[in-house]
Amino acid sequence: MSFYLYMHHGRLDPSTGGTDEEGNEVDDWGFEGPNLVGVIGTHVTYGELRVFFGDATAARVAKALTGWADGNGDEDLCVNFSEDNSCLRRFNAARGRDEFFGDWGLAMSMRHMTARAESEAHAQNALRTASNIAVEHVPLSGAAWTPR
């Protein structure tokens, strides 16, 4: 079983409300971020959030979409946050800038997401980009677990 990690309520400055992709403030949720596929778990240790993926390919695709640093292995990334930790941060390489998302979460499928319809299109693009990602079930045993 794997999850999508979705991001929405985008803005270019974490201290403002939502903006469109050009940075203009809006009275709405702001722009949609990428939807990462193949997520099998998360772990927080001493304030650092790590996201684990089903395989190294899914992690590489997510790294390309977010600019997040490698974790302790080939299949995990360390999530970036704004300086005040209020927003998830990603580097958008295509636009050469940081983007911030006030809302993010995990969903088992796109139909469980509550964001606007554009999220479906973002997820489909992410799925096409990360095609043929094999995801394995990771059993959780006791208090500690490792991906694989």
List, for residues 43-82, the tens digit of each pLDDT value: 998 889 999 999 999 999 999 999 999 999 999 999 999 9
141 in a domain, yes or no? no
**CB environment 35-49: b (16+ within 10 A), e (fewer):** bbbbbbbeeeeeeeb
Model confidence over 1-56: pLDDT tens digits?
899 999 989 999 988 888 999 999 888 888 999 999 999 999 998 889 999 999 99
144 in a domain, yes or no? no
Q: Can you give the residue range of the structural domain that contains 29?
A: 3-129
Count up the domains in the chain and report the number: 1
148 in a domain, yes or no? no
Q: Return the SS3 of 18.
A: coil
49 in a domain, yes or no? yes
138 in a domain, yes or no? no
140 in a domain, yes or no? no
122 in a domain, yes or no? yes
Using a cut of 0.75, tell me whether the model's pTM lies above it.
Answer: no
